[in-house]
């Protein structure tokens, strides 16, 4: 994308608004991240350095928005997860805020309101699909969390025992034990 807009002038009429989105854990490590503009943080190394810096500046102060390294970053955290949406510093902050709200709300519905790292990792595939449904190459694709979740969470719930994960088997074994003791 070519940046023709100068400091203090009009916003550029473009659909390429989101420069990046990421979810970090409570050590500032990346769980998921996407950067959409090849001129902004092109390498994984630069991205991770930026994420560390971003995390250090934001994880204590829940101040919603920060201007950092020429980017406007809006953010939100819950328990041990941090959600960020980045845009150019010549961008309408409220549009970025709406993308963050969409991201957070979609993930929250997907995880049945248990927005925490463990649950997110158990549903990583669905969250990846949600990421992909929210933003396509920097263009906001959808802003409605229910329709996003409708297209990301497609798993049929009843899974035969042989295909369950270890955690699920343990969980159901625990439940059964609990009930047999309570009897």
Partner 1 sequence: MSFKRDKKEEEDSGGNPYQNLDKTIILQEARYFNQSPVNPRKCCLILTKILYLLNQGEQKFTTQEATEAFFATTKLFQSKDVMLRRMVYLCIKELSTLAQDVIIVTSSLTKDMTGKEDLYRAAAIRALCSITDSTMLQAIERYMKQAIVDKNSAVSSAALVSALHLSSTAPDLVRRWANEAQEAISSENAMVSYHALGVVAGSRKNDKLSTVKLVTRLARSPLKSPYALCLLIRLAAQLVEDDDSDAAQPYIEFIECCLRHKSEMVIYEAAHAIVNLRKTARDLAPAVSVLQLFCGSSKASLRLAGARTLARLTAKHPTAVAACAVDLENLISDPNRSVATLAVTTLLATGAESSVDR
**Interface ranges with partner 1 (CB under 8 A):** 7-15, 30, 32-34, 44, 47-48, 61, 63-67, 72, 74, 92-98, 117-118, 121, 124-126, 128-129, 132, 136-137, 139-144, 147, 151-152, 154-155, 159, 163, 166, 169-170
Q: Looking up tokens 């463990």, which residue turns up?
A: 118
- DSSP 8-state symbol, 157: S
Q: How far is the CB of 49 from partner 1 (least distance, A)?
A: 12
Nearer residue to partner 1 within complex by CB, 45 or 183: 45
Nearer residue to partner 1 within complex by CB, 56 or 92: 92
Q: How far is the CB of 181 from partner 1 (least distance, A)?
A: 20
Nearer residue to partner 1 within complex by CB, 113 or 158: 158
Q: How far is the CB of 180 from partner 1 (least distance, A)?
A: 19
Nearer residue to partner 1 within complex by CB, 5 or 108: 5
Residue 77 tokens read as 């955290």
Q: DSSP E strands: which ranges in the chain?
A: 18-25, 30-35, 65-68, 71-78, 81-88, 135-136, 139-140
Report how many helices (DSSP H) and strands (DSSP E) the chain contains, helices first.
6, 7
How many C-alpha atoms does 90 have within 13 Å on its Cβ side?
14
Residue 32 exposed, middle or buried by CB count within 10 Å (0-12, 13-18, 19+): middle
Q: How far is the CB of 97 from partner 1 (least distance, A)?
A: 4
């Amino acid at each position: 994308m070519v940046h023709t807009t100068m400091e203090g002038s009009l916003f550029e009429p473009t659909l390429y608004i989101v420069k990046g989105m990421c979810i970090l854990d409570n050590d500032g490590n990346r769980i998921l991240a996407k950067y959409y503009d090849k001129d902004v943080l092109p390498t994984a190394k630069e991205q991770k350095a930026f994420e560390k810096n971003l995390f250090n500046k934001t994880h204590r102060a829940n101040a919603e928005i920060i201007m950092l390294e020429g980017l406007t970053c809006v953010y939100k955290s819950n328990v041990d997860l941090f959600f960020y949406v980045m845009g150019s510093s010549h961008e309408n902050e409220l549009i970025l805020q709406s993308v963050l709200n969409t991201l957070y709300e979609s993930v929250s519905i997907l995880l049945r309101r248990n927005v925490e790292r463990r649950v997110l990792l158990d549903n990583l595939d669905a969250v990846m699909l949600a990421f992909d449904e929210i933003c396509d190459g920097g263009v906001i694709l959808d802003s409605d969390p229910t329709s996003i979740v409708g297209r990301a969470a497609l798993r049929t719930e009843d899974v035969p025992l042989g295909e369950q994960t270890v955690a699920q088997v343990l969980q159901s074994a625990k439940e059964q034990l609990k009930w047999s003791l309570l009897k």
